Structure 1
Amino acid sequence: MGKKAKKEPETPTKDEFDPLSIESRRADTAVLMLSSPEEGVLAKACEAIRKFAEKGDENRITLMGLGAVEPLSHLISHDDKSVRKNAFMALGIMAHNGDVKKMLKKLDVIPSIIARLSPEEDVVIHEFATQCLASLALDFACKVQIFDSEALGPLIHLLSSSDPDVVKNSVECIYNLVQDLPSRVAVRELNGIPQLLGQLHSEFPVIQELTLRTLGHITTDKETRLAFREEQGLEKLLEVLTKKEYNDLHVEALQVVSNCLEDVDTLQYVRERAGLQTLLTFVTTPTLPEVQSNAVKAITKVAQSYENRKILHEQDVEKSLMALLAVENNRVRSATCQAVAVMSKHLASKDTFRHLGSIKPIVQLLSSESTEVRESAAHALSSLTSGNQLNAQAVFEAEGDEALVQQVQDGGAREVAYAASVLTNMAAQEALRRNILSQGVMQTLVGPLQFKDTHLLVSIIQAVATLASDAEGRTEFRTAGGLPHLVKLLHSYNTEVRRNACWALSVCANDESAASELSKLGALEVLQEINSSTNRRNRFSDITLQRLLDNNLSAKYSLTGHLSATDVIADGFYDPGQTRAGQKVPDLVDLSNQVISQRRPVIAVNGKPQDLSIHGLAEARQPDSASESRGASAQSNRSNSRAPSKAKQRDEDVSKPQQRHGDERQGLLPWDSQLCSLITEATKSILPLEEERDQLRALAVLVSNAMGGALSAEQQHDFLWELHLSELKHEEQSNIIPIGKIKKGTYIHRALLYKVLADRIGVGCSLVRGDYNRAWNEVLITEGPPKTPGCYCQPCVYVVDLIHSPGELMKSNSPAAIKYQRI
């Protein structure tokens, strides 16, 4: 065998390109290289871009401007593993920039990223793919797309990865996704709870914290809480809470625990395993303020249900909370007051807090420099005093009324609302109410009535309604200018504001002077409009309208055409004629200023001289005995150091003569001497009569004789009463005519005079307006002795004839009565 010939080197083919080493210092060159068909070039270009992007956000913006994002988004799906890995690393770093994320969203890159979460992929790809998803999941639209692309399953699977960065990014992405309910439910259904609980023992705090935050979101769902309990999640959380080395995790762990304890069964479950005691230990044991405040917040959240409050009360949670009121930390104090407010919904807890002496330190917190603490303290007191008069008394004894009034004056909306609520609860007691009034609270309450906050408005209005239950309170509120604001609130679109405004007005309308002012402010018209609506009408709107009318009989008769036997006509009454529903009743001041016209005259009642007699003035100066006793009672409850000087001044003001609304109207009218004479005659000649029928008949004859005597149907046409009234208007130089001067009166005039005289001598009768100048009086007469001993006869209604046969009593609905009432 011969020797092998030496193999000569092969000659390169003509179309082969010799290898070329490229070194570039420009980013745009690297971006151009992303279009290369060679895997090696692509991998190096991606690596260079990643290193450049890591140096800062400006570089990421530069790369995006050079067009690097789109080719990178394609390269993450490249067949070559090295290219995919480097492309993901570069894209993951760039995705930290907001503009890059927006661009990735437009490029619809999410499905490509999720496709690379499979177990077969390299761990580095998992790391940067999850990093991209975590960044994109901050955007709502991307979050929805990630969920719809079923990414939660692969992400939960990656929680078991051996690479901590993959786990951290996966937990972070899940945390961002579970901000929405569908993702929270999906985590449970995909059995993600055990995987998450496994991360509680991670050696990396950031993973533990992200896990607890994620659990905090998913345990807001009731079914998830049940699954969490079945996986021994509570035991694992309590284990975290009992380890000092996990102090930095206690805040987040407490949040998850508080979510779980919202369920009564879970609370009982934890209680049986001493877990509740562990929670209470965090409340009482000095530790970081943030941990203590979160422990208290957990108790507050747990106490939202009645059953949970009962269990917490059995665990003496009130003692634990009481201890925290002395902690020198505003967050702890605020959280404690909020817990007291919620626990005080439990009746037994209200008394427990008082017995423990909690009310005084809470009152002292009303003077805190912290707005949050002041608001929370007022909230606690509002709950403590609701339906508990002993607690209200305790607030008063701690001098809380002064601080609360100050809070109403100077506080923010929520402070004012809670403070007003406490004052309302305290004002249910007369002695406390008078002392609150002595602080000038009515003047203070007027300002907040102009706010827009509905919760605040309701609280303020309720305080006004309660404090105005005394005549002094009503006077102070009216003097402070509060009535116009209440009337304005009748127009509110909020049902609660409108209803409470009606309530407050119904209380204020107990005073005749306030009722008169409310009428001038248009309250009558607004209330009529409210009552005509099935949606806006309420119980208080009916009551308020009725009280306004009862204290303004002129308006009542004008609007309703009816005065009952209990509606006693006083001097100052006037009849302007019928006013349609919803229209404003003409005011006496306006009527007195009008020039003489052809319209029907206004009939006025004023049988008493304008100047008060010595006897009348003496009576006006007598202080109200009830008010005097109330003042004494209130004063005895105050210590000498807290003598209410304003209350003393108010008591002095009460002793001054008060001018009634009737007196004001009377001042606009001349003295009606003829009416005065008729009253005197009725008193002398009719009152002595023993029989009720005789009184009614005699009074009818008196009225008939005073206004032209009996008239037959034929005589009525020649009676010329309208001419007579026209002459009186010119004589008086006014459209207002005193009723006593009318010598030719028809139905409307005689019926009114009959009612006026009957009211003066104590004879009961009603006044009813009909159509076409008709009006009549109805009286109740008992028909004979009862047929059966011990029984009472039902009285019958009769109509009094004042025209044809004066004194005749016609049974209601009889042909004679109907003929008298109608033309």
Structure 2
Amino acid sequence: MGKKIKKEVEPPPKDVFDPLMIESKKAATVVLMLRSPEEEILAKACEAIYKFALKGEENKATLLELGAVEPLTKLLTHEDKIVRRNATMIFGILASNNDVKKLLRELDVMNSVIAQLAPEEEVVIHEFASLCLANMSAEYPVIQLLALKTLGVITNDKESRTMLRDNQGLDHLIKILETKELNDLHIEALAVIANCLEDMDTMVQIQQTGGLKKLLSFAENSTIPDIQKNAAKAITKAAYDPENRKLFHEQEVEKCLVALLGSENDGTKIAASQAISAMCENSGSKDFFNNQGIPQLIQLLKSDNEEVREAAALALANLTTCNPANANAAAEADGIDPLINVLSSKRDGAIANAATVLTNMAMQEPLRLNIQNHDIMHAIISPLRSANTVVQSKAALAVAATACDVEARTELRNSGGLEPLVELLRSKNDEVRKHASWAVMVCAGDELTANELCRLGALDILEEVNLSGTRRNKFSEAAYNKLLNNNLSLKYSQTGYLSSSNIINDGFYDYGRINPGTKLLPLKELCLQEPSDLRAVLLINSKSDV
């Protein structure tokens, strides 16, 4: 065997660089290398620049001054994957510098960065391309704005809200609200928070982390009307849940809402009033607004804006329902006149709400007398004639609550209010028919009004209603009986008996039994009939003809 000859190691080519070690003083040299046509040199230069940029903001600024950004942008689309990857990593770091971001916008590199998110690229490229886009989006407010608008849509879904919460999305949203420089994003951020607050778990989390108190403080102290309005809307949406209302009450949300009532912006006033309406389901909140809130809402009833008046009236309706103290507070705040004025509003909701407040007030006799002195019987006629069934129902209920004495009923009768009330007995709406029957029952408390109601056909309509298995109700039956007690001749003919409280006076006549649905002829018509062999009509008349 021949002796092996040791192969000599060839020296490295003279035109190949040794591994690069970079210090800040050599940065300019490496930046120049970014223009090299050699892929290996480009990859090494990018790696060195990446490490250099990681050391801090000063180095990023240095790279910008040395002109590194422009050649690096060209490397984002380089054929070599390693060069492309290293360039993307550099931009993920450099893009946090404001001056670099400004230049990148001018160079229009967003499409090149987005292209790095292609599925076939490495995960590390995806990560640094995403980092670059995230850093860039903070001067691109339009990107953040679109992101928030997108979140505003997808967080209508419960699962999406959960994902946002689990990924600390709420913390980021609160930080946006706390950053004055991002005030153009506050409205959209609030819209997302409003959706999230519908979930009890989210509400608890934001309350435990102090975010809820920040949100309320932000809403109260903001000087931007749309932000205050959206904050109030967020509270309204969340307050439909009883547990959320409880948490809001613990955070003294009422103080924030009362402050918003004083806004100069009508939209904010409306939103705050609606939030108060929602919070009224909490008894503690309802009590809070007794001294703070009700006086301000009364003032809003005088607004020139019909929507403001409607929202304020709704809040007052909810506050005074089943709460005599709040009804009294509304009266003490001089609320009767404004409420009666709202009965002539152009908005059905405002009319219905005002009628509800007046009904709630009238449950207390001193307040009822005060309401009667403000011409309620004349003001309620227009709502009784409304085509809206809710307004009809609430107006009839207001009559039932206020026509409790002869004077009030006389005023209603003289004002022409009985006719539209009787017409409501024909309504196909169960609630309207029930409340109208209730009002007729109250108005039939004196003979003159009862006779006028009968003349207008109330008795006939009620008789027809009570013959129906689906349309009758306990109030239609009670109203019919009350009217019969003021028409004893008809009662005796229909039922065959009178109660011990039915006092027969002159003019009572016994025609004999008639079947339900049969009309009893008036005495005047009977007197005009010729004598016959039919049963005699017996007339009570104690007065002497002499």
Shared fold (TM-score greater than 0.5)?
A: yes
Partner of 1:538: 473
Partner of 1:524: 459
Partner of 1:207: 143
Deviations 1:726-754 (A, max 9, x none): xxxxxxxxxxxxxxxxxxxxxxxxxxxxx
Deviations 1:459-480 (A, max 9, x none): 1111111001223222222222
> Which residues of structure 2 form unaligned runs of 5+?
1-108, 116-129
Identity %: 47
AA aligned to 1:596 is E
Partner of 1:612: none
Instruction: Give yes or no for the alignment of 1:433 onto 2:338.
Output: no
Alignment of 1:103-142 (within 5 A): none
Instruction: Give yes or no for the alignment of 1:288 onto 2:240.
Output: no
AA aligned to 2:111 is D
Question: What SS is found at the alignment partner of 1:391?
Answer: helix
Partner of 1:566: 501
Partner of 1:778: none
Q: Distance in 1 between matches of 2:112 and 2:179?
A: 23
Instruction: Give yes or no for the alignment of 1:505 onto 2:427.
Output: no
2:303 paired residue among 347, 359, 368: 368
Partners of 1:366 and 1:374 within 8 A in 2: yes
Distance 1:324 1:280, change over 3 A: same
Partners of 1:359 and 1:395 within 8 A in 2: yes
1:423 paired residue among 332, 343, 358: 358
Q: Distance in 2 between matches of 1:334 and 1:451?
A: 25
Q: Distance in 2 between matches of 1:304 and 1:200?
A: 39
Q: Distance in 1 between matches of 2:365 and 2:113?
A: 69
AA aligned to 2:244 is N
Q: Distance in 2 between matches of 1:165 and 1:496?
A: 65
Partner of 1:553: 488
AA aligned to 2:434 is R
Alignment of 1:721-740 (within 5 A): none
Partners of 1:382 and 1:421 within 8 A in 2: yes
Partner of 2:215: 279
Partner of 1:340: 276
Q: Distance in 1 between matches of 2:113 and 2:380?
A: 60
Partner of 2:196: 260
Distance 1:453 1:577, change over 3 A: same
Partners of 2:317 and 2:356 within 8 A in 1: yes
Partner of 1:53: none
Aligned-residue offset at 1:288: 0.7
Q: Distance in 1 between matches of 2:318 and 2:495?
A: 44
Alignment of 1:200-239 (within 5 A): 201=137, 203-239=139-175
Question: What SS is found at the alignment partner of 2:290?
Answer: helix
Deviations 1:362-399 (A, max 9, x none): 21121112112211221221122112212222221221
AA aligned to 2:481 is Q
Q: Distance in 2 between matches of 1:386 and 1:364?
A: 19
Partners of 1:525 and 1:583 within 8 A in 2: no
Question: What SS is found at the alignment partner of 1:563?
Answer: coil
Aligned-residue offset at 1:551: 2.2
Partner of 1:163: 111
Partner of 1:394: 329
AA aligned to 1:515 is A
Deviations 1:616-654 (A, max 9, x none): xxxxxxxxxxxxxxxxxxxxxxxxxxxxxxxxxxxxxxx
Partners of 1:334 and 1:372 within 8 A in 2: yes
AA aligned to 2:144 is Q
Aligned-residue offset at 1:520: 2.3
Alignment of 1:558-637 (within 5 A): 558-592=493-527, 594-596=528-530, 598=532, 600-607=535-542, 609=543
Q: Distance in 1 between matches of 2:316 and 2:513?
A: 52
Partner of 2:179: 243
Q: Distance in 2 between matches of 1:451 and 1:414?
A: 12
Partner of 2:421: 486
AA aligned to 1:473 is A
Distance 1:571 1:368, change over 3 A: same
Question: What SS is found at the alignment partner of 1:562?
Answer: coil
Partners of 1:490 and 1:502 within 8 A in 2: yes
Q: Distance in 2 between matches of 1:543 and 1:339?
A: 39
AA aligned to 2:198 is E
Q: Distance in 2 between matches of 1:532 and 1:502?
A: 15
Aligned-residue offset at 1:332: 1.6
Partners of 2:246 and 2:282 within 8 A in 1: yes
Per the normalisation by structure 1, the TM-score is: 0.48
Alignment of 1:400-479 (within 5 A): 400-479=335-414
Partner of 1:314: 250
Q: Distance in 2 between matches of 1:245 and 1:496?
A: 54
Instruction: Give yes or no for the alignment of 1:380 onto 2:328.
Output: no
Partners of 1:321 and 1:336 within 8 A in 2: yes
Per the normalisation by structure 2, the TM-score is: 0.72
AA aligned to 1:384 is L
AA aligned to 1:581 is P
Distance 1:285 1:480, change over 3 A: same
Question: What SS is found at the alignment partner of 2:413?
Answer: helix
Instruction: Give yes or no for the alignment of 1:358 onto 2:293.
Output: yes
Q: Distance in 1 between matches of 2:214 and 2:141?
A: 22
Distance 1:455 1:211, change over 3 A: farther
Q: Distance in 2 between matches of 1:543 and 1:198?
A: 72
Q: Distance in 1 between matches of 2:188 and 2:524?
A: 70
Distance 1:574 1:269, change over 3 A: same
Q: Distance in 1 between matches of 2:397 and 2:135?
A: 53
AA aligned to 1:602 is V
Q: Distance in 1 between matches of 2:344 and 2:190?
A: 38
Partner of 2:5: none
Distance 1:563 1:255, change over 3 A: same
AA aligned to 1:391 is N
Q: Distance in 2 between matches of 1:672 and 1:286?
A: 86
Q: Distance in 2 between matches of 1:496 and 1:398?
A: 31
Partners of 2:137 and 2:143 within 8 A in 1: no
Aligned-residue offset at 1:489: 1.1
Q: Distance in 2 between matches of 1:401 and 1:337?
A: 19
Q: Distance in 1 between matches of 2:525 and 2:142?
A: 79
Question: What SS is found at the alignment partner of 2:538?
Answer: strand
Q: Distance in 1 between matches of 2:155 and 2:405?
A: 52
Alignment of 1:678-717 (within 5 A): none
Question: What SS is found at the alignment partner of 1:354?
Answer: coil
Distance 1:471 1:310, change over 3 A: farther
AA aligned to 1:163 is N
Aligned-residue offset at 1:600: 4.3
Partners of 2:294 and 2:329 within 8 A in 1: yes
Aligned-residue offset at 1:200: 11
Aligned-residue offset at 1:202: 6.0
Q: Distance in 1 between matches of 2:380 and 2:467?
A: 30
Partners of 1:606 and 1:672 within 8 A in 2: no
Aligned-residue offset at 1:527: 1.9
Partners of 2:306 and 2:345 within 8 A in 1: no
Partner of 1:326: 262
Deviations 1:446-492 (A, max 9, x none): 11111111221121111111001223222222222222212211221
1:302 paired residue among 232, 238, 247: 238
Question: What SS is found at the alignment partner of 1:579?
Answer: coil
Aligned-residue offset at 1:411: 4.5
**Pairs aligned (count):** 422
Deviations 1:201-256 (A, max 9, x none): 56533333333233223322334323332233322322222222221121122122
Q: Distance in 2 between matches of 1:503 and 1:560?
A: 22
